[in-house]
Amino acid sequence: MHTDTSPTLLITGGAGFIGSHLAAELLQHGYRVRILDNLAPRVHGPERQRPGHLDGRAEVFVGDIRDPHRLHEALEGVDSVIHLAAVVGGRQSMYQIEKYMSVNTTGTAVLLEALLDHPIRRLIVASSSAIYGEGLYCSYNGTIYPKIRRSPAQVEKGDWEPRSPDGEVIYPLPTPETKEASPLSIYAVSKYDQEEMCRMIGESYGIPTVILRLFSVYGPHQGYANPYSGMLTEYASRLLQDKPVRLFEDGYQQRDFVSVYDAARAFRLALETPSAGGETFNIGSGRPATFRTVADRLAAITRRQDLAPIVMGTCRVGDIRHCIADISRAREVLGYEPEVPLEAGLLELVAGVKAEIAERRKVPAPLEIPKPSRLPV
């Protein structure tokens, strides 16, 4: 329980999926939590109500990250800021360009200007593994390829695996923070903008800044609206409603799925570790899994093994093939260690989705299919 002398933290975007779990984590460890969130109808419904699962002890300011007046109000008496406010998802960003750059890039600029008038102890920024584009790769003979991208012609013909300049299939490696950024979507560009702006202003004005590059975070209360971040929720929901999972490409894309509980703890560790200031950390599980593997596990948990997945054979614009986190730096500096195994995390995810379906009879948003006539593959 916090006291009158407990530090007050502002979480921008704190009523969202990760933010609500982070608020609970911080409140449990004695912090006062204030949230600035616009309660977007796409996430929170047309009534824009405070989510019922958000801890009642969290103070909520309803407002847009781009509104300087509301931001200054929210920053009064704040010790540190955790910046989560953003629109997320790769494919949507490729046709909602202004929206993504306005909220993610301009919104961060407005926040940083406000911080010049409100000195804080620490700024923690939620970035994304999307900035890497494809992860790190190597060939069978050990040659390392730090910057690879699949051509539209390659994926158009269903040749999914990245290749070397000589046409050789190459293999994914754990990706360290030192890998050069190679964003493949407007969303990824906007997250890289956030990183660079926060790093620059932090160094210039003496604000210790920590950047956390989150990999594929999943868990309870993850929204259906975004088919990028909510893919596992989409899978569980379809299976529970006797519908087969739909897999993009061939389903063998590798991702690093990390529980939202582990991600929330990583933010707290970044806040409490003095040596983390000025550093960038990957936050993942450190263990790769394919979408097929996860779909199979969810089918077993929901007892829908009879529903064979539909392999779409299409690629979403802005998507990558493989990216796995090297979390050794977070282990060394933050003392971060993933605690939620994938199987346990999926069990809780299914339980949460099942409860939501029973309570609200909620149907997931339809999975977006690329439209080659409008967008490149």
pLDDT given for residue 304 in this prediction? 95
Residue 92 lies in a domain: yes
- How far is it, in rounded angstroms, from Cα 20 to Cα 27? 11
Rounded to an integer, what distance in angstroms lies between the CA atom of residue 66 and that of residue 37? 11
User: Which residues lie closer than 8 Å to 167 by C-beta, 6 or more apart?
Assistant: none
pLDDT of the residue at 373:
39
Check residue 231 and give its pLDDT: 86
The torsion region of residue 281 among left (phi > 0), alpha (psi -120 to 50) and beta comes to beta
pLDDT for position 376: 37
> Does residue 156 belong to any structural domain of this protein?
yes
**Between helices 107-117 and 68-75, what is the axis angle to 10°?**
50
Within a 13 Å sphere around the CA of 11, how many CA atoms are in the beta-carbon half? 30
Q: How much is the pLDDT for 360?
A: 64
CA dist 229 to 34, 105, 258, 268, 279, Å?
24, 19, 12, 22, 25
> Tokens 């190597």 correspond to what residue?
138
| Pair of tokens at residue 241 | 């409603």
Domain that holds residue 27: 8-360
Q: Is residue 309 part of a domain?
A: yes
Compute the distance between CA of residue 290 and CA of residue 172 in angstroms, rounded to an integer: 12
The Cα–Cα gap between 319 and 46 comes to: 30
In this structure, the chain runs to a length of 377
Whole-number pLDDT of residue 361: 63
Q: Which two tokens stand for residue 105?
A: 């890039």
For 81-97, the pLDDT digits (tens) are 999 999 987 777 888 89
Q: What is the pLDDT of residue 358?
A: 81
| Residue among 27, 83, 85, 15 at smallest CA distance from 52 | 15
Q: Do the Cβ atoms of 288 and 172 come closer than 8 Å? A: yes
Q: Which tokens hold the place of 154?
A: 């390659």
**What contacts 98, CB < 8 A, 6 or more positions away?**
none
DSSP code of 101?
I
Does a structural domain hold residue 367?
no
Domain presence at residue 262: yes
Find the CATH number of the domain harbouring 24. Answer: 3.40.50.720
Q: What is the pTM of this model?
A: 0.91
Specify if 369 maps to a domain.
no
**pLDDT tens digits, residue range 165-189?**
988 999 999 999 999 999 989 999 9
Neighbours of 295 (CB within 10 A): 24
Question: Please, are residues 91 and 368 in contact by the beta-carbon 8 Å criterion?
Answer: yes
Q: According to the model, what pLDDT value does residue 369 have?
A: 39
Q: Would you call 328 helix, strand, or coil by DSSP?
A: helix
Q: What is the pLDDT of residue 257?
A: 96
CB 58 within 8 A of CB 2: no
Separation CA 33–CA 78 (nearest Å): 9
Tally of domains in the chain = 1
**Residue ranges of the chain whose pLDDT lies below 50:** 227-228, 362, 365-377
272 CB-near residues (< 8 Å, 6+ apart): none
374 is a domain residue? no
Q: Is residue 205 part of a domain?
A: yes
